[in-house]
Structure 1
């Protein structure tokens, strides 16, 4: 026997109340998920479901469950394998004040390396040879003199090289240059992305023990070492090296990386170069 119109209306009212309770319960669950780091809201639903009538929404949810939104994560910091070695290395300004010396003054060989923090070729060099340079410096075999230029800022968007070089100089002032320098290259953003922001540079600084503090943070914010960045750029320009970055001087003489490309990629070749120079002294 068919239900009367009045009974059908009553049943529809009960269903509407039940649906409202269910929606309210889902909102409570969404709030709990949000507080626990997993957020599920109506924004996760397809746009064509957000304005549907309640019955249509109910049918849609039964066919396609809501997709949980992934929590927003801060960029990761990629570590370097030579971390422990770098933490024990001394660093100071070079005699002319334009470079940064890493290693010991009694090393028989001085290897000057010209780098730009935005240069992807230099990042590849550091990935292949950074650990070897650190090991040789720790063994008193070579003093590595870094000259940090920043001319890629003239051709690429943003002041990333300037900001990174200023930050590296601040790291030197606060005892964390060797590791911070390595982390900058290990976490180098794409050349065409202005990724070396103040926030990112501070985050990388947090990965170096005892580096972050009011002074370091202020020196990044205020570009405290901007004039030094210009001095380093002048030193690079005056050197007139032929290979851009990275380039090398061995005891003051330019290394022909075009004739010896393995020096950029092969730790054994780089070690042999330093050993041969040490024997020649």
Structure 2
């Protein structure tokens, strides 16, 4: 075979090899495009699914909060959005914004409960509780809303303070929306003497005060408050000075001083 023929065959083989590599490259690009399209499709479906789930959650909230605003018995403060514990004549007022699903609120209650209840019992302090649904908004679910409604139902029965304490003492993990179960809220009412009654159960299951809770949460947002708990003693944030916060003992001393 002549050198010319050998060179021609080699050139042909090289051209074929180059063409095969080009075809492989085209095949790889095509597969990449197909896979990419499939991934985009899955992500789009996931996004739609997430959007539908989010909208479903919003729809559930709207459904829970539908109906007239019914304030609990004896509601106090602006627009009757507070539940008061203690006598009107007390010289000091503690304003507390709380969420029953909020771990920091539980820490506050566990640390300050004894001091607050003692001052209330002495008639030296009144506490105005404002209920928010911050954790529902951040984590999803409806436990903050339903627990707050149940607490308002307890207020109707004259049992807000002890039931309020029971809810925090039995608070689930933040990610566990256990308070969304009305049966759980009714079960906890059994820990408060005289609360587990037919009217209380109906109030809880009917969501009688849901719209009131939603209005309270809106007031929380409108006030520009950053989180729960927000606690004010006679209008001053007790945690404002992080280096020198108002401890339970300092709270007692401040209130007793105000009462002479």
State the TM-score bracket (shorter-chain normalisation).
0.5 to 0.7
Q: Residue 210 of structure 1: CA displacement?
A: 1.3
The answer to whether residue 220 in structure 2 is matched with residue 220 in structure 1 is: no
What pairs up with 1:154-165 in 2 under 5 angstroms?
154-165=137-148
- 2:243 and 2:161 mapped to 1: Cα distance? 26
- 2:183 and 2:119 mapped to 1: Cα distance? 33
1:93 maps to which of 75, 80, 88: 75
Structure (1/2) with the larger helix percentage: 2
Q: Which residue of 2 aligns with 1:194?
A: 177
Task: Provide TM-score, normalisation by structure 1.
Answer: 0.62
| Structure 1, unpaired ranges of 5+ | 1-90
- In structure 1, the residue corresponding to 2:253 is in which secondary structure? helix
2:166 maps to which of 177, 180, 183: 183
Q: Which residue of 2 aligns with 1:267?
A: 248
1:261 to 1:220, Cα distance in 2 relative to 1, 3 A: farther
Contact kept? 2:87, 2:126, Cα under 8 Å = yes
Q: Which residue of 2 aligns with 1:140?
A: 123
Contact kept? 2:102, 2:228, Cα under 8 Å = yes
Q: Residue 207 of structure 1: CA displacement?
A: 1.2
Instruction: Deviation per CA, 1:223-261: give whole Å up to 9, x if none.
Output: 11111101211232233335x111122223434434356
Bigger radius of gyration among the two = 2
- In structure 1, the residue corresponding to 2:77 is in which secondary structure? coil
What pairs up with 1:241-256 in 2 under 5 angstroms?
241-242=225-226, 244-256=227-239
- In structure 2, the residue corresponding to 1:111 is in which secondary structure? strand
RCO (CA 8 Å, sep 6+): is it higher in 1 or 2?
A: 2
Structure 1 vs Structure 2 CA RMSD: 1.9
Task: Provide TM-score, normalisation by structure 2.
Answer: 0.67
